[in-house]
Amino acid sequence: MSGEAHDSKVTTAAAASTAGDRLEDAPLDLDALYRESKVHEAIDALERELVGLVPVKTRVGEIAALLLVEKLRRSVGMQADAPPLHMSFTGNPGTGKTTVAMRMAAILHNLDYVRKGHLVAVTRDDLVGQYIGHTAPKTKEVLKKAMGGVLFIDEAYYLYRPENERDYGQEAIEILLQTMENQRDDLVVIFAGYHDRMERFFSSNPGLGSRVAHHIDFPDYQEDELLEIAGRMLAQMQYRLSDEAHGALREYITLRRQQPHFANARSIRNALDRARLRQANRLFRGRSRSVTREMLATIEAEDILASRVFNARVDDG
Amino acid sequence: MKLTQGAFSYLPDLTDDQITAQVEYCLSRGWAVSVEYTDDPHPRNTYWDMYGLPMFDLRDAAGVLQEINACRETYPEHYIKVNAFDSTHGWEALQLSFIVNRPAEEPGFALVRTETAGRNLRYTTTAYATDRPAGQRYAKG
């Protein structure tokens, strides 16, 4: 296994060194480049760590393929302009936009499209100043921090406030535009937010919209997926659900999804955090009895059923 | 007379690629890089003007180079230097400082002799450039 990988590395190194002298139709080893670039590590991590999100994973895979082929084209001296890389991630809260952005930064870094591969996540407050002359330095400072990596602008539509013509957001957009255009090698910008509001944002800022090459839409999670996410979160925190608690959580998710302000995975995380709180309280109240390791790790149905979400149902009924 | 202050000043002027490499090194050590300029080249003039604020939390030299170029555009005929500040406890001082821009013409320094009591001589240097007021010292024409 390791010998095979070693061989392929030697082949590509040789191919790269003599690429200029080779015949035009000499075969190139795309697969070796793929393995060498470590981009599969990021894609595998995406696959492994995120539940569902099939359309997103497909699009990320497609973009990675494009970048890989462009890189190979460049390595044999073919015309390959730096492909436009700015992206827009749209979807409801808690659908994994930031997590995917982090993976995207790793993919871009592995393929040498950004030099450092770090992610700088900002919102309107980090870019827009409070008085005249405050915005430009602030935006530029953030841009400088993001150079060599990915700038992730969450809820980007807040930058543009048409109802206030003196709003400084417009200034931030202009500086952003300038940098996106002139320093494409230094920085990749990802805009994120609700789908419909982002669409309105781009249509009212056509200059910005036309420079964003990849639009990825993040679907909401299904109930089963949310349940799996909960399972993974708990496993990571070294908790587990009892069988009754598992049923209770399923019921909780069904109810919670119908309520306002449901934020997908984030709501699940919050629910679990509250369940942990109740579990700790339950153990503390019964502290006269001895506590086992098993008890410390187990979340019971009552920890979940105490949630307000169930009360709301009782009230309604 | 070529001004020799800071690191690398006996070498030919650094190219942008070389400056980038130096700044990359500074950033990799976690130093905060800043850009300063002056038109008073006297060696005892340690207080140069800051161009913008020191840049903290940068990961890549591109941001610094952008700032250097902006400063060059504003003050093409000034001395511009790049400083790297190390905030490590117990050090808290500059680790590296080097010039990245200089005027086309550098007239150099005059040695001034002052006679004091008992025909003793005291020596000092003044820059020819500082004969003119600030802002007009290296103006062309």
ipTM for this model: 0.83
- Nearest-Å Rg of the Cα atoms of chain B is 17
| Number of helices followed by number of strands (H, E) in chain A | 16, 7
Collect all residues of chain B within an 8 Å Cβ-Cβ radius of residue A141. 53, 55
Mean pLDDT of A220-226: 91
The count of other CB atoms within 10 Å of the CB of residue A73 is 13
Closest chain A residue to B63, measured at CA: A144
Mean pLDDT of B117-141: 87
**CB-based contact, A200 to chain B, within 8 Å:** no
CB A8 within 8 A of CB A29: yes
- Considering only A11-15, A38-42, B54-58, which range has the smallest mean pLDDT? A11-15
Residue with the larger pLDDT of the pair A243 and A38: A243
Mean pLDDT of A23-52: 78
* Mutation site, A147, A151, A186, interface B, largest B CB count within 10 A: A147
Q: Chain B closest CA to A78's CA: distance in Å?
A: 25
Q: State the Cα–Cα distance between residues A266 and A154, nearest whole angstrom.
A: 15
Q: Say yes or no for a CB contact (<8 Å) between B59 and A145.
A: yes
Residue A24's pLDDT band (cuts 50, 70, 90)? low
Collect all residues of chain B within an 8 Å Cβ-Cβ radius of residue A113. none
Q: Chain A closest CA to B62's CA: distance in Å?
A: 6
pLDDT given for residue A7 in this prediction: 45
Collect all residues of chain B within an 8 Å Cβ-Cβ radius of residue A147. 58-63, 66
Q: Which amino acid is at A217?
A: D
- Checking if the pLDDT of A43 tops 50, the result is yes
The vertex-B132 CA angle with B126 and B134, nearest 5°, equals 95
**How much of chain A, in percent, has pLDDT values that exceed 70?**
90
Q: Say yes or no for a CB contact (<8 Å) between A118 and B59.
A: yes
Mean pLDDT of A287-305: 88
Q: State the Cα–Cα distance between residues A185 and A267, nearest whole angstrom.
A: 37
Collect all residues of chain B within an 8 Å Cβ-Cβ radius of residue A180. none
Give this prediction's pTM.
0.81
- Considering only A18-32, A55-69, B127-141, which range has the smallest mean pLDDT? A18-32
Q: Say yes or no for a CB contact (<8 Å) between A149 and B58.
A: no
| Torsion from C-alpha of A128, A132, A136, A137, nearest 10 degrees | -100
pLDDT given for residue A315 in this prediction: 47
User: Strand order of the sheet with strand A187-193?
Assistant: A119-122, A149-154, A187-193, A87-91, A214-218
Most confident segment among A14-23, A251-260, B79-88: B79-88
pLDDT given for residue A312 in this prediction: 67
Q: Nearest Cβ partner of A186 from B53, B60, B67?
A: B60
